[in-house]
Amino acid sequence: MSDDKTHFGFEQIPVNEKVKRVAGVFHSVADKYDVMNDVMSLGVHRLWKRFTLSQTGLKAGQRVLDLAGGTGDLALRMSRMVGPAGEVVLSDINASMLNRGRERLLDKGIAGNMSYVQANAECLPFPDDYFDCITIAFGLRNVTDKDAALRSMYRVLKPGGRLLVLEFSKPVAPGLAPVYDVYSFKLLPAMGKLIANDADSYRYLAESIRMHPDQQTLKEMMQVAGFDKVSYHNMTGGIVALHKGFKI
């Protein structure tokens, strides 16, 4: 990979185009994002998110940042965990997704301790040592410069705060990999076409999952960014993994 190229799925594209291309994908899937998540993961993404919530250790009154928060699944529940005295910041780089999230949360009556910020994870617009917890669920793989993003998250975390990265990873369960390949390269785009009428976007999702660093690599990236006590937990045979790291 040359210096000014990055991957977009399996394609190589100029670095400055990635943000635009990823934005295109999410603008086009925003409306059907929730339905597709349920269909694609057979509803299991809810369980992955539940486990993520259980690892936040949030208490009433704390401040939490939900990066790439999309349609607000995690933010919804975290708003309840931190209570009226706490604060949840839902952030996404993509205006369409953020708007969907805001509408959805307002419709559910979530307001008061929730704010919305459109931001790029690589250069977060928050002061140093600001959040007790940061979550990023299925978002890191779409970030162009992941190392910069991890450094930026480290900066805005309070000492003692934690980062949780929920992301697709490398299947480790024996025999799962070939099944998973057929599923993500054949079935997934077909379902994308059927439900969202947008096979290309879902092909990108499948490809971007493959280009994402595996469990160990991401763990090392977090350590390089400064995180301590980094650990990960495989779910559904390693199809997704939750990485946890602390700022000490």
Rounded-to-integer distance, Cα 160 and Cα 151, Å:
16
Query: How many residues are present in the chain?
Result: 248
Q: Which of 55, 96, 118, 215 is close enough to bind other proteins by CB under 8 A?
A: 55
- 20 binding other proteins? (CB under 8 A): no
3-state secondary structure (DSSP) of residue 221: helix
Nearer CB in complex with other proteins: 5/158: 158
**Six-digit token pair at 106?**
């307002």
Nearer CB in complex with other proteins: 132/198: 132
Over the window 63 to 92, marking each residue x when it contacts other proteins by CB under 8 A and - when it does not, the resulting string is: --------------x--xxxxxxx------
- 158 binding other proteins? (CB under 8 A): no
Q: Which stretch binds other proteins (CB under 8 A): 20-28, 45-53, 171-179, 181-189?
A: 45-53
- 50 binding other proteins? (CB under 8 A): yes
- 56 binding other proteins? (CB under 8 A): yes
Contact call for residues 75 and 101 (beta carbons, < 8 A): yes
- DSSP assignment of 133-199 equals EEEEES-GGG-S-HHHHHHHHHHHEEEEEEEEEEEE----STTHHHHHHHIIIIIHHHHHHHHHS-H
- 59 binding other proteins? (CB under 8 A): yes
Instruction: Give residues 87-146 in contact with other proteins (rule: CB under 8 A).
Output: 108-109
Contact call for residues 203 and 195 (beta carbons, < 8 A): no
Residues near other proteins (CB under 8 A) are 46-47, 50-51, 53-61, 77, 80-86, 108-109
